[in-house]
Amino acid sequence: MLARLFEGNRRFFSGAARHGHDVTDARRRAEKPTPSTLMIGCIDSRVPPEAIFDQPFGEILSMRTAGHLLDRAALASVELAVSRMRVPLIVVLGHENCAAVEYAVDATHRGEHPDGVLGYLVRQIAPSVPMDEALSGTQTYEGAVRGHVASVVAGVRAVPTVAEAVADGRLGVAGVRYGVTYGRAELLIEPA
């Protein structure tokens, strides 16, 4: 697997990338990065922000954790992006069929409280889990994805540096849901 990655890097470096990336973009942005967006997304391999939003090299600061959780490192990254890199937009990107959300939904509905780091994941997502017994599994998962995006947007907006930049009109924070089945992004929460 590592050899395959380095083969890809050799193609990229030589200007023969197979997947639409251009080394000249990387070189052009090497001196002074000017990203327009901080994308807070999931680690899911089916949700690469630069690809699904068709953005050039260096345009997106991509921060990815399971279930797009906001831990201390993620919050520090948000602060750095806003205060030092002056990004004008933060997008919280949730997605269909998120394994982290599905794990948290299942654990919550079974009344399980896992220990360790998976327990942290469940505790962070559980408040967004719909508990309506009339909903089917798909509706419950989808409701949790949407609710968790809203929760993370609220958490980002509560960061003092972010709140100040939003109040000054220098920053917008939005929530988006991506459908891995069809490839379409949907705006859930307008930038504010």
Q: pLDDT of 1-12, one tens digit each? A: 888 889 877 887
Provide the domain count of the chain. Answer: 2
Mark whether 120 and 178 lie in a shared domain. yes
The reported pTM is: 0.91
pLDDT of res. 27 = 77
Residue 2: both structure tokens together: 């590592």
Which has more pLDDT, 52 or 32? Answer: 52
Mark whether 10 and 64 lie in a shared domain. no
Identify the CATH number of the domain in which residue 177 sits.
3.40.1050.10
Q: Mean pLDDT over residues 89-109, rounded?
A: 96
Mark whether 8 and 94 lie in a shared domain. no
Mark whether 68 and 154 lie in a shared domain. yes
> Is the pLDDT score of 157 beyond 90?
yes
Mark whether 148 and 162 lie in a shared domain. yes
For 132-152, letters b (16+ CB in 10 Å) and e give eeeeeeeebbbbbbbbbbbbb
pLDDT tens digits for range 39-52: 999 999 999 999 89
Q: Which domain holds residue 90?
A: 34-189
pLDDT confidence of 133, banded at 50, 70, 90? low
Mark whether 27 and 60 lie in a shared domain. no
